[in-house]
Amino acid sequence: MLSSNIRYIGVDDIDIDLFEGQYYVPSGMSYNSYVILDDKVCVMDTVDIRKADVYLSHLKEALDGRNPDYIVVHHVEPDHASSLQRFLDQYPDVTIVGNAKTFQMLENYFALGSAARLVVKEGEKLNLGSHELTFVMAPMVHWPEVMMSYEGTEKVLFSADAFGKFGARAADEPWDDEARRYYLNIVGKYGPQVQSVLKKASALDIAAICPLHGPELDETIPHVLDLYEKWSTYTSEDDQGVFIAYATLHGNTGCAAETLANLIDQTYDRDVMVADLARVDSAESLACAFQYKRIILCASTYNAGLMPFMEDFLHHLKAKNWQGRVVGLVENGSWAPMAAKVMKGELEGLKNMTIVEPVVTLRGAMKDTYIPDMKQMIESLLNA
């Protein structure tokens, strides 16, 4: 419970293994919903249909015999709105609040029929009594209909998917890591749109943020906003360390990646993160590529191109607008090394990328004879 008037009625889903059918969530996922109890009762979103029964029981308990007057749909995506029909069946006299795009998209999922609707625009208000909501449009953060709402009495921002994270609310884990993995994989492409919302948020006096996933935020808000500023402008968090991502065929390229990591750690005293792209969670690897400014990509040549895991990794980075990084390349190919040429071609299509020389080319097993080139490439990477 945030206060006696704003109460949490969401659900933890600890049975789910993949969020959106692709993101590994070892500690589950939360679907957040809130109810504001005033002269008028306003519910903020529903939850995934997977947990509709638990959600509706939480709502009934919070209402304590009252009926909701409004339900605000901040985001139509099914993990937040797929229980809406169940909600309407139970509370048919409620008014659905959304923007014009909200109602267009709801029709893709439900037959709303004669349900009462209130269409709101940027800056419009909804008075509930002593509480009042002001609506803030947030298109493409990360769907076109997304909006937020700001409650001025208790200074609460209901932020839709912004400022959310992977993991159940009950999970005891650092916010930064799972919020980074969540943001960069789900929202990361839409940095300019997030920047627009951050400018709107800067004009509000915010005491608490209530996202649709994860915990409410209060004293950590300055830190969270700083991270969102970096993430949405594609600015690295770590300018000194190095992230090494590799895709290896028979283990030799992986051995080269570990050799690089040892050289950087022991010779240059820099922090190093290493990821085997075939074995590390792909969403985590992508988040690391955004976290670090300096990256080394190591790949075996495969079918005159790239190992599929590296090919897929670069595809996802490109789709999320990865940019502004310093990159070193290591390729391996027993008779016709091609991996570096392909990786360069992918990277040259991205914004503000610096590819350092020399490219390190292995022909089979990792040998000490490759170390001078490795050191030279590391020097170029760290000094760029």
Looking at 180, 214, 232, which one is the last position of a domain? 232
The per-residue pLDDT for 2 is 83
- Indicate whether 157 belongs to any domain: yes
Beta carbons within 8 Å of 152's beta carbon, 6+ residues apart: 131, 132, 134
Q: pLDDT digits over 326-341, tens only?
A: 999 999 998 989 999 9
The reply to whether 18 and 157 lie within a common domain is: yes
* Final residue in a domain of this structure, among 214, 232, 250: 232
| Judgement on whether residues 211 and 260 belong to the same structural domain of the protein | no
Does 319 fall in a domain? yes
Place of tokens 């109810």: 35
> Are residue 35 and residue 142 in the same domain, yes or no?
yes
Q: How confident is the model at residue 98 (pLDDT cuts 50, 70, 90)?
A: very high
Please write the tens of the pLDDT for every residue from 129-152. 999 999 999 999 999 999 999 999
Beta bridge mates, 147: 137
- Residue among 153, 158, 134 nearest 210 (CA): 158
Percent helix, strand and coil across the chain, each to the nearest 5: 35, 25, 40
Same domain assignment for residues 58 and 190: yes
Whole-number percent of the chain with pLDDT over 70:
100
Question: What tens digit of pLDDT does each residue of 249-263 get?
Answer: 999 999 999 999 999
Q: Is 269 or 76 the better-scoring residue by pLDDT?
A: 76
More confident residue, 1 or 86: 86
Q: Please tell me the total count of domains within the chain.
A: 2
Helices (H), the chain: 52-63, 78-81, 84-90, 100-106, 175-182, 191-202, 221-232, 252-268, 282-291, 308-319, 339-347, 371-383
Is residue 1 pLDDT above 70, yes or no? Answer: no
Q: Give the gyration radius of the chain's Cα atoms.
A: 24
Does a structural domain hold residue 305? yes
Write a three-state SS string for 305-324. EECHHHHHHHHHHHHCCCCC
Round to whole Å and give the CA distance between 354 and 363.
Answer: 25
Q: What is the pLDDT of residues 18-40, one digit of tens each?
A: 999 999 999 999 999 999 999 99
Note whether 181 and 39 are same-domain residues. yes
Is pTM beyond 0.85? Reply is yes
Boundary-marking domain end, from 193, 213, 232: 232
Q: Is residue 1 part of a domain?
A: no
CB neighbours (10 Å) of residue 80? 24
Condensed to tens digits (0 to 9), the pLDDT of residues 330-371 reads 999 989 899 999 999 999 989 999 999 999 999 999 999 999
Judge if 260 and 219 occupy the same domain: no
At residue 300, does pLDDT exceed 80?
Answer: yes
The per-residue b/e assignment along 13-47, b for 16 or more CB within 10 angstroms, e otherwise, is beebeebeeebebebbbbbbbbbbbbeebbbbbbb
384: number of Cβ within 10 Å: 14
**Among all chains, which residue has been given the structure tokens 């209402």?**
63
The CATH number that applies at residue 186 is 3.60.15.10
Cβ-Cβ contacts under 8 Å for 89 (sequence gap 6 or more):
none
Structural domain that includes position 143: 6-232
Instruction: Judge if 351 and 208 occupy the same domain.
Output: no
Average pLDDT over residues 157-176: 94
Q: What is the CATH number of the domain that holds 259?
A: 3.40.50.360
pLDDT score at 171: 85
CA–CA separation, 291 vs 159, rounded Å? 23
